[in-house]
Amino acid sequence: MNILTFDIEEWFHILDNNSTKTEKEWGNYESRIHENMDRIFSVLEKNNIKATFFCLGWIAQKYPDIIKRINELGYEIGTHSHMHQLAYEMKPDEYREDLRISIDTLEQIIGEKIKSYRAPGFSITRENLWAFEILAEMGIENDSSIFPANRAHGGIPQFQQDSPCIISYRGIELKEFPINTYSLFGKNLIFSGGGYFRLLPYRLVHYMAKQSPYMMTYFHPRDFDPGQPVIKELSAFRKFKSYYGLGGSFSKLEKFIKDYSFVDLKTYSEEINWNEVTKVGLD
């Protein structure tokens, strides 16, 4: 099975960039979240597919109608933090409080326990594994924050398990749903979400997906919005990464979800025999 997920944030929630770093800067940009969410809802409803939505607490506070609609349509809601900051730039107490606000905000809107989480930018690394202790403390059961390759925001390239497993750290255990990779010419390539999905030709994405027994996707509303403004402060390389392929990405997504079967993270987790999966110690 394959898992379909979306990280629900605004188009300007771009990490590692001073002009989009905090709420103070976010006020300088127009909101595009409603039209971008409508685009996602339409393709899911058209194809009768469920997905998991990792939502920012900030989005929930500002636009609770979006969270209500996700819930009313029967999609799973997880948290993507509150203020979309890199986890490894936060102290444990800051991280705990940010996560608490996000969970509380979402739970108050939908009246259900939040059990799934993804860190902004997959920013749990070998240096801040303490985050897993806080996730367990906050009642998170399913995590999808491990990026088993090098990337700008960290990742854990030493993590060799690219299928669902149980991670163990200092006495706590969490069900982990890492991003999957495809090994090509000795390199672990990511293809199933974000800029990677937009950058790669669909024929190559299709080929790598066919060879993968497990696939974890991660898309953002901005990935399918060719009309979004260009943030001028970004470097030429960041502009390429952030804007390349936007024109054809939605039609690529439509084809992708027709070519493969997808479920939400909750369904996948319920159908796994967790007694038979690999346990990975991170101590």
Q: What is the pLDDT of residue 158?
A: 80
pLDDT over threshold 80, residue 174: yes
How much is the CA Rg of the chain, to the nearest whole Å? 18
Are 271 and 159 a contacting pair, CB within 8 Å? no
Task: Please provide residue 172's backbone torsions phi and psi, each rounded to the nearest 5 degrees.
Answer: -110, 155
Q: Per-residue confidence at 160, pLDDT binned at 50, 70, 90?
A: confident
Q: Per the structure block, which two tokens stand in for 170? A: 């200092």
Mean pLDDT of 118-139: 96
Q: Which residues pair with 66 in a beta bridge?
A: none
Q: Which residues is 55 bridged to in the sheet?
A: 8, 79
Dihedral sign from CA coordinates of 113, 116, 120, 124: positive
Of the pLDDT bands very low, low, confident and very high (cuts 50, 70, 90), residue 154 is low
- Residue 117's beta-bridge partner residues? 79, 143
Cα gap 178→262, rounded to integer Å: 16
Banded model confidence at residue 281, pLDDT cuts 50, 70, 90: very high
Question: Rounded to whole angstroms, how far apart are CA atoms 11 and 5?
Answer: 17
3-state secondary structure of 130: helix
pLDDT band at 149 (very low <50, low <70, confident <90, very high): confident
pLDDT at 9 over 80: yes
Residue spans per domain, the chain:
2-281
User: Over 80: is that where the pLDDT of 252 sits?
Assistant: yes
**CATH no. for 2-281:** 3.20.20.370
Sign of CA dihedral 97, 61, 196, 245: negative
* Global pTM value: 0.96
- Kindly state the average pLDDT of the residues 39-49: 97
153 has a pLDDT exceeding 80: no
Is pLDDT above 90 for 202?
A: yes
Q: How far is CA 16 from CA 12, 150, 201, in A?
A: 12, 16, 27
Residue 210, token pair as written in the block: 């066919």
Reported as a single tens digit per residue, the pLDDT across 59-114 is 999 999 999 999 999 999 999 999 999 999 999 999 999 999 999 999 999 999 99
Contacts of 156 (CB under 8 A, 6+ apart): 124, 125, 126, 146, 147, 148
pLDDT of residue 183: 85
Please state whether beta strands 116-117 and 52-55 pair in parallel, antiparallel, or not at all (unpaired): unpaired
